[in-house]
Chain A
C-alpha cells in the first residue's frame, strides 16, 4: 500500500487535515504577543482549507476518489477518504471554522488568558472534526473522536474559573466514559467481523441471520458512546454546563465540532457500517427513534425554563441535534435526506444564535433573556440575525430548519410512522414557546434601563469582526432554505447522499 502511486487525489484529504493541524502546532510555539503571526496563520489556514474543500466538492461531484491509506498495526489501517457524506461535513466545518476564527480573534482581543493556547487547541479541535469527517473506517474515526475530546477540554476550561473547571471535569468524565463504550463496540465489531470500513449501504448485511444478537448489543454500545457527544438523553448532562466556555467555543461545539461528531458518528454507524436496511431488519431503528424523540421533547421542555440565554440555546441544541438521529432512525430515503441535511442546517442556525448571544454578552454584558428588552434597537443587525436563527429552529419557512422538518415529516409518513409527526409538531410548538418571547422582547419591549456594561463603537453596533460572522451565517441559513433547490445546496447534496445509501 505504501508504494502506491501518490497523486494529488491521494494527498488532498491529508492536505485538508494539515491546513488546520499545521497552523495549530505552529501557534503553540508562538509567543503570546505575536498577534499578527497568529492571526495570519489562523486565517491563512482556514482560507487554504476552504479552497481545498472547494476542489474536493467539485471532484467528488465528478467522480474523483480521494483516498489515502496506510497500515497502523497488523490488519488495522489508517484511512482518510472522501465520500459524499464526508464532503458535506468538511464543507460545513471548513466554512464555519473560517467565520468562528474571525469571531474568536475579535472576541478574545482583550482576554487575559493565553490566546496561543486557545488558538492552538482551537485548530486541533477543527482538525479532529475534519479527521472525523474524512475517516474511512471506524478505527480512524475513533482516533479522531478521542482527539476531539482532548482538544476541546482546554477550550471548555479556557477561562479557568471554578465553574468552568467543574464543567470541564464533567465534560471529560462523560466523554471518556462514552469513548470507552464506543471503543468496546468498535473492538468487538473488529474482532468478530473483521472489516470496519465505511461503505455506502453498510457491510454487515450478511450477518443478520447468524449474529443478530451480537450486532444488536454492539449497536447500542456504539450508540451509547456516540450518544454522549450527540447529547442524547440521558447522556446530555455535560452540554448545558459546557456553555460556560467562551462564545466562539460554544458556537463551534454546538454547531459543528462535538455534538455534530456524535451525530455524524450515529449516521455513519447506521448507514455505512450496519447499513440502513440491516438496521431495519435487526429492529434497531425503533429504539433509536424513541430515544431521539424523547430527547427532542425533553430538551425543548428544559429549554423553556432557562433564563440564561446560552443555557436556553444549549438545551435547544440537545433537542435539535436529535433530529439528525431521528432522520437516521426512520427507514426510507426521504427521512434520510431530512436527517442528513439537518447536520448542515442546524449548524448554520445554531452557530448564528451563539454568535449573537456572544455579541450581546461582549457588547452589553447581557447574559439573561430577562435583560434583553429592547435590545433590537441597540443592536438591530445582531438581533435580526438572531431572529432568523430562532425562526429557523422553530421551523418557520423559508429558513433552512423548515426544509429539514418537511423532509422528516414526509419521511415519517412514507415509513408509516405518523407518531413522529406528533413529535415534530410538539417540538416546533415548544421551540416557538421558548424562542418567540425572546424575539418579542428584543423588538417590541422598551429597554428597561441602561445596559449592564455597554461598550460603545462609534459607527457600528459592535466590533465589525463580531458582527459579520452572525450576519453571514444567518444569511446562509436563510439561503439554504430559500434556494433549497439550487445546485450545491445542502439539500441537493443530502439527496445525493441518500441516493447512494439506498442504491441497490
Chain B
C-alpha cells in the first residue's frame, strides 16, 4: 500500500538511513571531524521522529535501489526503531564526552555512524536484499567499534567477532536464497505464509543466533562487549544484538505455521542460555563481561518466546508483542547498565556523585531482575502469561524455569554491582553530556514500557498482589543467595570453585589446537592450526601443510605438458562417465 503523499515519507526514510551514513562518510575527511562529531548523535533524530509521527503499515518502493528496494515501518519495526534510535542517540551523546580525550575518536564515530545507519536500515527493510545489505553494513562496521582500543584483548575479540560475522552472513545468505527461491519473491511479507525447509530454518536460527548471542555461538559477546568502548558496548548489547532477534521475527513463519520440533529446540536452547550464562558470568572479574553474560541470559529468555511462537502459532498473538516488549525493556536497561559502568568509573572518589550513579545503576539492575513495578516485571509477566493457553505436560515446568531464571538474574546483577563498586578504576570525567544522556536513558528505561499500546496489561493488573508476589520472591531469593555468598566470601574466605575465562567455549580452542598439533606431530605432520591469541587470521604462516602441498601441485601444473595431459585425461574421464566410448 502506498499512500498518496509517499514522496515525503520516502524522503523521511532516506533521511533515517542516509543522515547517519553521510555524516559517517564525511568523518573520513580529517578537517571536518570536529564539526561532524558534534552533529553525529543528532542524526538519530529522524528515526525518533518517524517513530512518533509516521503512519505504520505502509511500504514505499524505492526505484532503482538494489533489486527494487521496499522500505517501510510496520508495527514490529516501529517498536524496534523506537528503542534502537533512542539508544543510538543517547549513546552517541555519551560517546562525545566519553571519548573527548581519545585521539582516534574521529575513527570511532565513522564506524559508530555506519553501524547506526545499518541498524536503522535493517529495521526499515521490507525486502530481503535491503535487509541483507543493512545487516552486513551494521555487522562489518561494528568491527571498528570492537577493535577500537587496539590492545591485545580488543584484537582477539575482533578476530572472533569477524569470524562469526562472516559465518553468520554466509548462513543467512544461503537461507535468503532458499527463501527467495521457494517463494519466488524478495518481499518479506511473502515469507510468512509458506512452510520453509528444515535446512532454511536451521540456517536462520544459527545465522541470526550469532548476532543474538544464542548458545553456543554466543562466544563473541563476552569478548567484544568488554573490549569495546563503553558507549559502543551499550549499542552493541542494547540495540545491535536485537537485530538477530528481528531477523527471527522477520523470516521465521511465526504465528502462521507450526513447527513444534524447531520451537522446542529454541525453547531448550533459550533456557540453556538463560542458565548457562549465569553460571559462566558469576566468576567473571570485569563488570562489563558480567553484563555481556547477562545479555546472553536475557536473550535466552527472549529465544524461549520465539520458540513458543514458532512451535505453537496460537500463542503467537500474545507472545510476539511480549518478545518485542522484552527486547525494549532489555535494550534500555542494558544501555543504562553499560553507560553506568562508565559513569561509575568516572566518579570514583566523588562521594555524592558516585552514590547517585550507583543508585541509577541499581534502578536498571532491579528492573532487569524483574522487581515489582519495573519494566522488567511487565516484560516477564507478558512473556509468562500466554503459557496458560498451552496444555502440554511440560508447560508447568517451563513456567517454573522462567520464574527461577529471575533468581539467576538477580544473582548476576548483585555480582555486577559488587564489581562496579570494588573493581572499577578511575577513568575520565563525567561530563554534562554524559550524565544528561544517561539520566534520560534511565528515565526512558523506567517509563516507556508502560505507555506502549502493545503492553496489553492494565496498570491495575501490575498492582495486583499475586503479580507483585510473583515478581518479588525470586528477587528476594536472589538477594538472599547473593548476601550469603558475599558474607561467606568475607567471613569464611569462600572462593569460586571454577574459573571461566571470558568467552568460555572459545577458550577450549587452544586446547583443541594443541591436541590436533600433537596428533599431527605424532603422525610426523607439521600443522599449525590458526587461532593464536592476539593474531588476526593471517594464513601465510598457518596451514603450512595444505599450502605446501598446494604449492607442489601448482609447480607441477605450471608445466604445460602436464596441464595438457591432465586436461585430456579429464575430458576422457568425463566421456567415459557419460558413456560415450
Contacts and interface: CB of A to CB of B under 8 A. Distances in A.
A482 B563 CA distance: 40
Contacts of A434: 539
Nearest to B30: A380
A410 B578 CA distance: 27
A177 B537 contact: no
Nearest to A380: B28
Given A302-B550, A483-B65, A237 B558 contact: yes
B162 interface: yes
Interface string A360-402: 0000000000100000000010001000000100011110001
Interface in A222-246: 224, 233-237
A216 interface: yes
A444 B150 contact: yes
Interface residues of A, number: 61
A441 B537 CA distance: 11
B431 interface: no
Interface in A263-292: 283, 286-287, 291
Contacts of B173: 395, 405, 409, 425, 428
Given A302-B550, A304-B543, A484-B66, A436 B166 contact: yes
A61 B158 CA distance: 49
Given A234-B557, A398-B133, A436-B162, A425 B564 contact: no
Given A483-B65, A485-B66, A425 B174 contact: yes
A301 B546 contact: yes
A213 interface: yes
Residue from A177, A216, A436 whose CB has the most chain B CB atoms within 10 Å: A436
B394 interface: no
Contacts of A443: 144
Interface string B550-569: 11001001111011101100
Interface string B156-171: 0010001000110110
Contact of B64 (A220, A405, A486): A486
A237 B557 contact: yes
Nearest to B147: A444
A413 interface: yes
B180 interface: yes
Contacts of B580: 213, 216
B80 interface: no
A98 B132 CA distance: 34
B181 interface: yes
Contacts of A97: none
B463 interface: no
Contacts of A233: 557
Contacts of B570: 287, 291
Given A397-B129, A398-B133, A432-B166, A234 B566 contact: yes
B499 interface: no
Given A410-B177, A425-B170, A437 B536 contact: yes
B132 A397 contact: yes
Contact of B180 (A177, A234, A398, A410): A410
B547 interface: yes
Contacts, number: 130
A468 interface: no
Contacts of A395: 173
A425 to B, nearest CB: 5
A305 B170 contact: no
B133 A235 contact: no
B193 interface: no
Contacts of B169: 396
A174 B567 CA distance: 14
A18 interface: no
A58 interface: no
Contacts of B418: none
Contact of B129 (A170, A406, A421, A487): A406
Given A398-B66, A429-B170, A483-B64, A307 B540 contact: yes
A236 B567 CA distance: 12
B326 interface: no
Given A213-B580, A413-B181, A484 B67 contact: yes
Nearest to B562: A234
B150 A237 contact: no
B63 interface: yes
Nearest to A431: B166
Given A307-B540, A429-B170, A421 B177 contact: yes
Contacts of B546: 301
A147 interface: no
A428 B167 CA distance: 10
B359 to A, nearest CB: 38
Given A177-B564, A237-B554, A301-B550, 5 more contacts: A397-B133, A405-B173, A409-B173, A428-B173, A436-B166
8 contacts: A224-B567, A234-B563, A287-B574, A305-B551, A398-B133, A425-B174, A436-B537, A483-B64
Q: 9 tightest A-B contacts by CB?
A: A237-B558, A486-B64, A234-B563, A397-B133, A413-B181, A305-B547, A409-B177, A304-B539, A287-B574
